[in-house]
Amino acid sequence: MTGSVSPVAPSRPQVAFDPAVLSGEPCILGRRIPVRMVAEMVWNENVDEAMDMWGLSREEVLVACWFVGATGIMTIHAESGEQEGTGNAYKLNLSSEEWRERWNAWANRYAASLWLSDYDAVPDPPFNLP
């Protein structure tokens, strides 16, 4: 026995902050996928697209979106249709404040279900309606 402990995979998806991974940007634990990018994909497309894009489980997508909704880390400017700091343009039908309110309400409403890993009780987060 060497005395070292091998890392154990988490029993449920988690958000991690590691300065050695993408300069500490919040990511899905064990992956180099920023939660912000997952939320952007859900906002502009839907949960299934985010799952397909990165090979994520629905649970990982929901936890990433919950984190973004609970913290409000993603800023969207409805006037320019550009997400702050990225240069990525999107067609938006909600103001930045309306976006935050909808995602925060979703995150608050389903936080207990996510905490208890009752993912079937959690609907998909709000997304941008055309």
- Got the DSSP string for 12-23? S--EE--TTSGG
> What are 46's two structure tokens?
């839907």
pTM of the model: 0.76
Sequence letter at residue 74 = M
| 55-107 residue pLDDT tens | 999 999 999 999 999 988 765 544 434 444 444 444 444 567 777 888 899 99
Element (H, E) at 43: helix 35-44
